[in-house]
Chain A
Amino acid sequence: MDTSSFKLEWRNLSLWRGDRCLQTGLSGAVEKGEAVTLRGPNGCGKTTLLRTLCGLSQAEEGEILWQEQPTRKIRTTFHAHLAYSGHVNGLKSDLTTRENLHFAASMHGRHTNQNDLLHGLGLMACADLPVRNLSAGQRRRASLALVLGSGTELWVLDEPYTNLDTAGCEWLARRLNDHLAMGGLLLLAAHQGSGIRPERETLIELAGVGQ
């Protein structure tokens, strides 16, 4: 496959939550080595946009294209290149961090070295504890590990810096920049700074919903 053509594009999207219209006429694109950061006040539809782009929610209007093809038609191909981390962490609280990571890696048919990842995330000490016993920050790290260890090109992160300590934020920003440097694509919603090098980053400001 031609890796240079990786591109996610969305045209004229309308987002609705129930019977409330959040945004209309959203267009944009993210390409190889680029990051798109969504900004905007609470409730303006950042999460909805990310979920819609992933294919978890349906757009009321508009189209989403991955490599020039509608994602709705090539869902399996699209998902093979996608990793998503949302507000909820996607971890089973009764399983250990290691078991959760192992499950995710096996589902994607990969057997990466988990120890490197756990070490980098500072989760080595609690790798064999059930996720329910971890702190909120540690859970966030474990949840990010699912994405960072996924080996996919497109990472979609919803508020990835929530609950992380200073060292964790720096480490994550470094990893995100590395990912972009290796030709990855990044879509994120972030209130504070995203930590992405400005030359690689496109900001999209979403307006607040009319009162």
Chain B
Amino acid sequence: MIRAFRLVFVRELTVAFRRWSDLVLPLVFFVIVCTLFPLAVGQNAKILQEVGPGAIWVAALLATLLSLNSLFREDFEDGSLEQLALTTEPLSLLLLAKTLAHWVVTELPLVVIAPVLALGFGMPASGVTGLVLTLLVGTPALSLIGAVGAALTAGLRGASGLLALLLLPLTVPVLIFGARAAALAGEGHSIAGPLYLLGGITMLALTLTPFATAAAVRVSLD
């Protein structure tokens, strides 16, 4: 079981790095939004500091939505998804490996580059730490919840709009806790509470969504 998980994970990473042009699109989108924001809002340092965490979190959420479209689409079209569904390994585990690989190649770069972009908003050091922590704990939940939607819409043509509509209500709690905690950190408060809650959402998503994703994939294949 662990071996199958590792096999799928490694294959996903290999495929992702062979076509890195697809990989950088969400990252470029994230960077563009986060650099345009300070330019458009203007010189007022106080306002920038206040909107910074929220803007960066929204950009991260939208960049995730952008990348989720292709999570299962290609596997659906080239038949690898049905081959995965016909193995003896639990489908939920194999899809979790795919989702984890998706997080590593699309979300982790966002987390890494976020501190640099936070400078553009003039965020204090404590705020930057808070932002990175909340993104690190919160973005796995975005990938996991997103995988369910991506699995449901894998067989549909032109479903990008539908996917966004499906996922936005489910991802809003992550956004609220993440952005709010990052803002609190910037004001010098302790963020242990919201961070734990965010971790709780991620754990909940980790335990429940793989089964939903597997069921959704079976429906899409039918």
A residues touching B (Cβ–Cβ < 8 Å)? Answer: 54-58, 76, 79-80, 82-84, 86-95, 99, 103-104, 106-109, 130, 146
Contact = CB atoms under 8 A, between A and B. Distances in A.
Interface stretch (B12-20, B106-114, B167-175, B187-195): B12-20
Given A86-B82, A94-B18, A107-B89, A56 B7 contact: no
Interface in B29-86: 77-80, 82-83, 85-86
A58 B86 CA distance: 14
A200 to B, nearest CB: 25
B175 to A, nearest CB: 33
A57 B14 contact: no
Interface of B: 3-4, 7, 11, 14-15, 18-19, 77-80, 82-83, 85-89, 221-222
Contacts of A90: 78-80, 82-83
Given A88-B79, A108-B87, A146-B83, A103 B15 contact: no
Contacts of A54: 86
A88 B80 CA distance: 9
Contacts of B82: 56, 84, 86, 88, 90
B11 A95 contact: yes
Contact of B88 (A56, A80, A130): A80
Nearest to B85: A56
Closest 8 CB pairs of A and B: A88-B79, A90-B79, A94-B18, A90-B83, A80-B88, A57-B222, A94-B15, A76-B88
Contacts of A55: 86
A91 B79 CA distance: 7
Contacts of B7: 103, 106-107
Contacts of B83: 84, 90, 104, 146
Given A84-B82, A104-B83, A92 B11 contact: yes
A56 B87 contact: no
A1 B188 CA distance: 67
9 contacts: A54-B86, A79-B86, A79-B88, A84-B86, A88-B79, A89-B78, A91-B80, A106-B3, A107-B89
B79 A89 contact: yes
A9 B86 CA distance: 18
A103 B82 CA distance: 15
Contacts of B221: 56-57
A92 B78 contact: yes
Contacts of B87: 79, 107-108
A29 B85 CA distance: 23
Contact of B14 (A82, A88, A99, A146): A99
B52 to A, nearest CB: 38
Contact of B78 (A82, A91, A99, A103): A91
A93 B78 contact: yes
A90 B80 CA distance: 4
A11 to B, nearest CB: 20
B85 to A, nearest CB: 7
B86 A56 contact: yes
A99 to B, nearest CB: 7
A132 to B, nearest CB: 10
Contacts of A88: 77-79, 82
